[in-house]
Amino acid sequence: MNARGVTHSRQGDHSKAIEQFSAAIKADPRFLLAYKNRGEAYERIGDLAKAVSDYSFIIAAPARLGEADDERVKVEAATYLKRLSSAAGPSRAGDRAACERAGPDARIEACSRIVADSNATPTEQVAALMFRAGVYYERRQLEAVVADLDRILKIKPDHAPALARRGMAKGDLNRITEAIADFDAALKFDPSHAWALNGRGNAYRSLGQFDKAVADYDAALGIDANYLWPMRNKASAHERIGLFEEAEAGYRRVINSPGRFGNNDDRRAKQEAQNDLKRLEGLKEARARSEVRLPRRVALVIANTRYTGSFDALATPAGDGAAVAAALRRIGFKDEDVVERYDLDRRSMIAALREFEGKARTADWAMVFFAGHGVRARSNLDYMIPIDAHIESERDLADEAVALERVVERISDAKKLQLVVFDACRSNELTRRLYSVTDQQRSATPSAAPFEGPGLILAFSARRGQSAFDGRTNSPFVEALLANMGKPGADLERVLSATAEQVKKATHDQQVPEIYGLGYGKGVALRVGGEGVRR
Q: How far apart are CA 392 and CA 404, in angstroms?
A: 20
Q: Which residues pair with 105 in a beta bridge?
A: none
- Residue 528's pLDDT band (boundaries 50, 70, 90)? low
- The average pLDDT across 428-456 equals 53
- The average pLDDT across 434-444 equals 44
**Percent of the chain topping pLDDT 70:** 85
- The average pLDDT across 141-149 equals 89
Which among 486, 495, 489 is positioned nearest to 459, based on CA atoms? 495
Looking at the fold, whether 284 and 341 belong to one and the same domain comes out as no
Which among 372, 384, 532, 383 is positioned nearest to 468, based on CA atoms? 372
- Residue 453's pLDDT band (boundaries 50, 70, 90)? low
- Residue 425's pLDDT band (boundaries 50, 70, 90)? confident
pLDDT tens for 228-253 read 999 999 998 888 776 788 889 999 99
What 3 state SS string does 60-111 have? Answer: HCCCCCCCHHHHHHHHHHHHHHHHHHCCCHHHHHHHHHHHHHCCHHHHHHHH
More confident residue, 81 or 350: 350
Per-residue pLDDT at 432 exceeds 80: no
What 3 state SS string does 283-312 have? Answer: HHHHHHHHCCCCCCEEEEEEECCCCCCCCC
What 3 state SS string does 393-435 have? Answer: CHHHHHHHCEEHHHHHHHHCCCCCEEEEEEEECCCCHHHHHHC
Q: Are 403 and 415 in contact (CB under 8 A)?
A: no
CB pairs under 8 A, 24+ apart, for 212-220? Answer: 213/237, 214/238, 219/194, 220/194, 220/195
Q: How far apart are CA 306 and CA 318, in angstroms?
A: 9
The pLDDT value recorded for residue 533 is 33
CATH number at residue 305: 3.40.50.1460
Which among 24, 82, 27 is positioned nearest to 51, based on CA atoms? 82
Looking at the fold, whether 441 and 507 belong to one and the same domain comes out as yes
pLDDT tens for 17-65 read 899 989 988 888 888 888 888 988 888 877 776 776 777 778 767 777 6
Looking at the fold, whether 266 and 297 belong to one and the same domain comes out as no
Q: Are 316 and 324 in contact (CB under 8 A)?
A: no
Which of 46-55, 97-106, 300-309, 504-513 is predicted with the least confidence, judged by mean pLDDT? 46-55
In a domain, 275, yes or no: yes
In a domain, 143, yes or no: no
More confident residue, 92 or 387: 387
pLDDT tens for 487-525 read 776 789 999 999 999 999 988 888 889 898 888 888 888
Looking at the fold, whether 387 and 474 belong to one and the same domain comes out as yes
Helix (H) or strand (E) segment spanning residue 468: none
Looking at the fold, whether 230 and 344 belong to one and the same domain comes out as no
Domain count, the chain: 2
Looking at the fold, whether 285 and 341 belong to one and the same domain comes out as no
More confident residue, 504 or 469: 504
Q: How far apart are CA 296 and CA 284, in angstroms?
A: 17
| Coil, strand or helix at 506 | helix
Looking at the fold, whether 432 and 348 belong to one and the same domain comes out as yes
Check residue 279 and report its DSSP letter.
Answer: H
pLDDT, the chain, mean = 83
Q: Which residues pair with 370 in a beta bridge?
A: 302, 422
Give how far Cα 31 sits from Cα of 6, 10, 78, 304, Å. Answer: 14, 20, 16, 75
Looking at the fold, whether 379 and 232 belong to one and the same domain comes out as no
In a domain, 284, yes or no: yes
Which among 447, 501, 495 is positioned nearest to 476, based on CA atoms? 501
Per-residue pLDDT at 473 exceeds 70: yes
- Residue 110's pLDDT band (boundaries 50, 70, 90)? confident
In a domain, 258, yes or no: yes
- Residue 327's pLDDT band (boundaries 50, 70, 90)? very high
The pLDDT value recorded for residue 288 is 60
Per-residue pLDDT at 431 exceeds 60: no
The pLDDT value recorded for residue 323 is 94
What is the greatest pairwise CA distance in the chain?
90
Q: Are 99 and 148 in contact (CB under 8 A)?
A: no
By DSSP bridging, strand 338-342 and strand 365-372 are unpaired
The tally of CA atoms less than 13 A away on the side-chain side of residue 306 is 5
Per-residue pLDDT at 157 exceeds 90: yes
Looking at the fold, whether 396 and 278 belong to one and the same domain comes out as no
Query: Would you give the distance in Å from CA 494 to the centre of its chain?
Result: 25
Per-residue pLDDT at 267 exceeds 60: yes
More confident residue, 505 or 12: 505
Q: How far apart are CA 281 and CA 251, in angstroms?
A: 11
DSSP string across 182-240? HHHHHHHH-TT-HHHHHHHHHHHHHTT-HHHHHHHHHHHHHH-TT-HHHHHHHHHHHHH
Q: Are 528 and 331 in contact (CB under 8 A)?
A: yes
Residue type, 348: S
Looking at the fold, whether 327 and 408 belong to one and the same domain comes out as yes
Sheet arrangement for strand 417-424: 338-342, 297-303, 365-372, 417-424, 456-460, 514-516
More confident residue, 462 or 322: 322
Range of the domain at 397: 293-521
- Among residues 238, 264, 292, which one ends one of the domains? 292
- Residue 444's pLDDT band (boundaries 50, 70, 90)? very low
The pLDDT value recorded for residue 532 is 35
Q: How far apart are CA 519 and CA 237, in angstroms?
A: 10
Looking at the fold, whether 335 and 281 belong to one and the same domain comes out as no
Which among 301, 400, 381, 403 is positioned nearest to 343, based on CA atoms? 301
Looking at the fold, whether 437 and 475 belong to one and the same domain comes out as yes
Per-residue pLDDT at 115 exceeds 80: yes
Per-residue pLDDT at 195 exceeds 70: yes
In a domain, 46, yes or no: no
In a domain, 418, yes or no: yes
- Residue 263's pLDDT band (boundaries 50, 70, 90)? confident
- Among residues 245, 269, 292, which one ends one of the domains? 292
Check residue 457 and report its DSSP letter.
Answer: E
By DSSP bridging, strand 402-403 and strand 382-384 are antiparallel
In a domain, 396, yes or no: yes
- The average pLDDT across 325-347 equals 92
- Residue 66's pLDDT band (boundaries 50, 70, 90)? low
In a domain, 132, yes or no: no
Q: How far apart are CA 179 and CA 500, in angstroms?
A: 26
- Among residues 292, 312, 333, which one ends one of the domains? 292
Q: Are 482 and 324 in contact (CB under 8 A)?
A: yes
- Residue 375's pLDDT band (boundaries 50, 70, 90)? confident
